[in-house]
A and B are shown apart, each in its own frame.
Chain A
């Protein structure tokens, strides 16, 4: 910066400046000017807005896909212009990067100026104090030395310089409010720090979701595969996750009579660090506003739902019980849907087995109400659960190698006829049904599951520290005023002079005059005595 800036101003023969240097210089000057900073701020505001109005892929991929599908070429154009991922788009990044550079370019000289200002003495007393926005004059009985000493005493927390003028007048320059610029710089540097911390955080953070049955089941953060979904930062390959385990013992929710949720909490136990080796489990109550913080990670209770328990008694007499989570389709009454899948026991031949696999799919209501045979849920708590199920038999497609959702059956298997519906029935808890081949299916009841979100962000405390500095710096720079007071004590001349002194006081707020008047009036009263001349 210095190299570029020092050269240009005094260069009498024109066009001697290297055009590339000139371009760089002008770009730098333009970029760091307040005008451009303002334009960039507006651009930032403008560029941020679409993210609030359009669905964003990283928040809700399904909604985004639906939006694009519903808006035809317009949706596709927006997609190509990165409007569905605004905050990682090229144009958004460009704006804040430019703003970042502009900020650096603005702050460097300002810091320098501030350091110089801290060392500088308060400026000379203006010749005519009466021209200042705040001023007063009075003749007092004390001599100039006494006046200046009193002023010194009154202004002892100010930065003060005393001077003597040619005509024998004694003067005092006082300045205060250096914290204003300090606060301002703190604010802007904290802003830089925040942006840098965010960027570093993006590299080294990860976040994962996993559903765990609330019946003593465990989850261990030992690998990416343990998660249902995992979103790593750029530098995270999933090998070095912070090790810890949690065990979900119970989950309970409290509801108002209206069905609105009042509280959620999960009783869990966890182990991390040395506890992992010696098998110690520590209890914790996980609540919505109360994540578990351990091993550098945070574990959140981010959702819950129900898993129906089905026991199937196969024709050969063997029974199997499965508890598979179903997903809520309505978060008010927790009507849920899903699929519980069974392999027939005792069938070793894969081809044979693929004709006898079972899937129980349909709807689940924690508090059931039947409209005819149509199942509805009227309350989110599991008061009188019931399911409305289709039983499918045949090939579930599990051996096909295709991945499939745990919440549904592979529709292509149904379409191809490999998987056929063999029964449809409503069951309340404890009720059973029989299939044509003698298989008996019992709906035992519901078990709650919880969704855990595991988050890791090593820079988040830095972000917090910088955010607090931002607030602090902002508060300081907007409340402290940089202001000056000058005092000139001149020995009085004239007939009744006799050792009296003419005291002139002047004041100037260097930033915003508003509010300085009252303070100046107090100083003036202290220096000149209560009575006005």
Chain B
């Protein structure tokens, strides 16, 4: 199985370009976010000011931009317009980046004549692509486009690490991976991980926002511009309930594959174990969200924990422990 070097090179270029474009898009979205005026923020500011005069910390005045003391929507319209335009430009960049990213993944696949997720670099790339696509789909039904930078941040970090530390030259995969289960199991795992990045970020923002609501001095400037808590909660929940069955399916497929490849459907391999841990945490999230006294902050914290388990599973288990899933292609 020869590797098409030309295509592989194009894939690498597209990958690098996609990362650069994501960074550019991030800047646009950050500007949009900065220009966004939260509805009812004016009211908050009044409260904040009162608080400040009552004896709160002086920095609170920072939340109060000098130009909008008249509190009405009208004079802000041009600014909001400009923010929207910048956001739309950012979105165009995001889509362009996603297309290049998709091109990079596809070119890898064609260059190696197999599915493009056979080692950790390729897997990370696929996960990030799924996350970007999930987010693009999501912002069609939720007005949260301006938050894109926060989603892109972990994606760009992951892709940067992937392109530098974890980079592996295009090559065929080892015999144990030559199975159609590689297509099913790994694509399910990558899809679930990619989608789960979205609720992870949404839940972090939820925690920030709710900390701010409890104590306006915390994250004052930042949290004021975030969407309402219930919007963040709904985003997290709706994406999690899509990803969770996919994740479950991925684990079950992994077990079916393991039965024919390793002689046992469950080996307590570190990767399996850690996936089980993440699965249990997400199950706890779903239960918490349906339990009085656990909704809101606690549920969001559990979701963040679940995503942390996913990241831990990707990095620590692949790179530090030795197990049957050690396919990173490094060392």
Contact = CB atoms under 8 A, between A and B. Distances in A.
Interface in A297-323: 298, 300, 302
B266 to A, nearest CB: 8
B238 A514 contact: yes
Interface string B236-275: 0110011011001100100111011111110111110110
Contacts of B263: 207, 291, 298, 300, 302, 453, 455
Most buried by A among B242, B263, B265, B294: B263
A38 B260 contact: no
Interface stretch (A50-58, A153-161, A171-179): A50-58
A475 B242 CA distance: 8
B317 interface: yes
Contact of A41 (B257, B270, B283): B283
B178 A263 contact: yes
A441 to B, nearest CB: 35
Interface in B286-326: 287-288, 290-291, 293-294, 309, 317, 321
Contacts of A59: 267-269
Contact of B284 (A45, A298, A300): A45
B85 interface: no
A302 to B, nearest CB: 6
B248 A256 contact: no
Given A289-B261, A468-B252, A49 B277 contact: yes
A474 B248 contact: yes
A300 B284 CA distance: 37
B180 to A, nearest CB: 9
Given A38-B294, A56-B268, A478-B244, A261 B237 contact: no
A334 to B, nearest CB: 15
B89 interface: no
Contact of A471 (B252, B259, B321): B252
B47 to A, nearest CB: 28
A331 to B, nearest CB: 11
A428 to B, nearest CB: 29
A475 B245 contact: yes
B82 interface: no
B244 A289 contact: no
Contacts of A87: 268
A298 B261 CA distance: 11
A51 B273 contact: yes
A515 interface: yes
A260 B118 CA distance: 14
A41 B277 contact: no
Contact of A53 (B174, B175, B321): B321
B330 interface: no
Contacts of A261: 174-175
Contacts of A471: 245, 248-249, 252
B176 interface: yes
Interface in B1-47: 1
A37 B252 CA distance: 23
A73 B66 CA distance: 64
B171 A38 contact: no
Nearest to A198: B266
B234 A514 contact: yes
B50 interface: no
Contacts of B241: 478-479
Contacts of B274: 49, 52
Contacts of B280: 41-42, 44-45, 48
Interface stretch (A135-143, A239-247, A270-278, A459-467): A459-467
Nearest to A300: B263
A260 B171 contact: yes
A463 B234 CA distance: 34
A262 B274 CA distance: 29
For the side of the interface on B, what is the size category? 35 or more
A402 interface: no
Nearest to B313: A52
B241 to A, nearest CB: 4
Contacts of A256: 171-172
Nearest to B261: A289
A431 interface: no
A58 B267 CA distance: 10
A450 B242 CA distance: 44
A289 B260 contact: yes
B318 to A, nearest CB: 12
Interface in A421-461: 453, 455, 460
Given A289-B178, A471-B248, A48 B277 contact: yes
B328 interface: no
A512 interface: yes
B53 interface: no
A353 to B, nearest CB: 41
Contacts of A474: 244-245, 248
A113 interface: no
Interface in B127-179: 171-172, 174-176, 178-179
A24 interface: no
B175 A264 contact: yes
A150 interface: no
A470 interface: yes
Contacts of A291: 260, 263
A34 B248 contact: no
A446 B180 CA distance: 34
Contacts of B252: 467-468, 470-471
B276 interface: yes
A59 B293 CA distance: 41
Nearest to A455: B263
- Of B178, B283, B288, most A-chain CB atoms within 10 Å: B283
Contacts of B174: 260-262
A34 B172 contact: no
Contacts of A42: 280-281, 284
A302 B178 CA distance: 15
A339 to B, nearest CB: 28
B212 to A, nearest CB: 24
Contacts of B262: 300, 302
Nearest to A46: B277
A52 B291 contact: no
Nearest to A478: B241
A250 to B, nearest CB: 17
A470 B283 CA distance: 13
12 contacts: A37-B287, A41-B280, A41-B283, A52-B271, A56-B268, A59-B268, A264-B175, A289-B260, A300-B263, A453-B263, A471-B245, A471-B249
Given A59-B267, A59-B268, 14 more contacts: A35-B293, A38-B291, A48-B277, A256-B171, A287-B175, A289-B181, A289-B261, A300-B262, A455-B263, A455-B264, A463-B265, A471-B249, A478-B245, A514-B234
In the complex, the 6 A-B pairs of residues with the closest C-beta atoms, listed nearest first: A52-B273, A52-B270, A478-B241, A41-B284, A45-B280, A289-B179
